[in-house]
Structure 1
Amino acid sequence: GDRKTIYDSASPLILLIDIKDDGLTTYKLLDHILNDFREILCKVSHGAYVPGSVMVVISGNRPIEYMEQQTQRFAFVDGRMENLTKAYPPLLMPLISDRWTKYFTWRGKGDMPEEERAQLRLYVKDAHENGQLIRFWATPDKPGKERDAIWTELLEAGVDLINTDDLAGLRAFLLEKKSKYD
């Protein structure tokens, strides 16, 4: 039929693409490829958001100004914390991501320092007030109490996306947390 989604969710799958080389050259090549998948992609067309099943978000070497000028765009920009204070709209930058260790000294051992907990919640509040999602990368990812403590703080603060290479571990953690709150 007309269905363009796999899941019954209004939230698209987020595909993060981390550009390591020349951002503009790489993005232009990628943009040409993304056009072939336009039917399933979230996009911006003449300033209007068009929902889709997959939202492509460009990370790494991001050609922000070029992407901002496109009238038809099949990808979005992964912002950084310093972008919270700039006026990039969520239509361009729906996600703010940054390195955990750049902003926090706590690695999950003992209680999170109150000033860091307050700062985490402020980052989340600012992103959400801007209509943006937020995530942190480079959080401890080795199974154990420290990782679980950080994941718990991220959840309780309202962080939208938890970064991990251990998908099975995160799934188990989230299912356990869900059963505790149900």
Structure 2
Amino acid sequence: MADADSSRVGLWGELWMRAAAASIRDNRPDDAKAARRMVARAAAGMDREDQAFPGTWGGFGPVTAAIKAVEDCLISGNSPSDARAVLARAEDGVLSSGALKKIGRPDGANWARHRLDVARAHAILGAHQDATDELMCIRSKHGAWLKHQTLARRVMADILRSRKRTLTQDMREMKSYLGVVE
């Protein structure tokens, strides 16, 4: 790996990310853990996010590796402790604002998906306004993409189902935008 250029390291890391995600979804936590170690190894060999992949791939780098590991927290569970793990990791290390400026952000869809996970974590914890704020931020940058995301509709439905107070204007707008019915 020391002699490979960043696009080859990135491709290797992307393939291991896909293996990790499949392992998590197939309830094979040991395989997922081993694959995530390989992802981390590839990410450690890169100084920045690399967006040089073909259009069907999302790019790879230290930030992409970190957000995919955060995503695993909610794939395997919906408990408050899983949600707290997402929120604790969502602004830490390479995901901190300073690191993002230095390393670069992942492509739009990967970053938006990560922020959807953050919105979901907020909703699980009953922080409805924080979840809505995340959805509104995603909408402002990736509105067409957001409208087609099942997870966004699920987050909004969870907010509607569990909120005891009157909906805010942003919540009503997002409900309508996503086509969520109570």
TM-score of the pair, normalised by structure 1: 0.31
Q: Which has the higher helix share?
A: 2
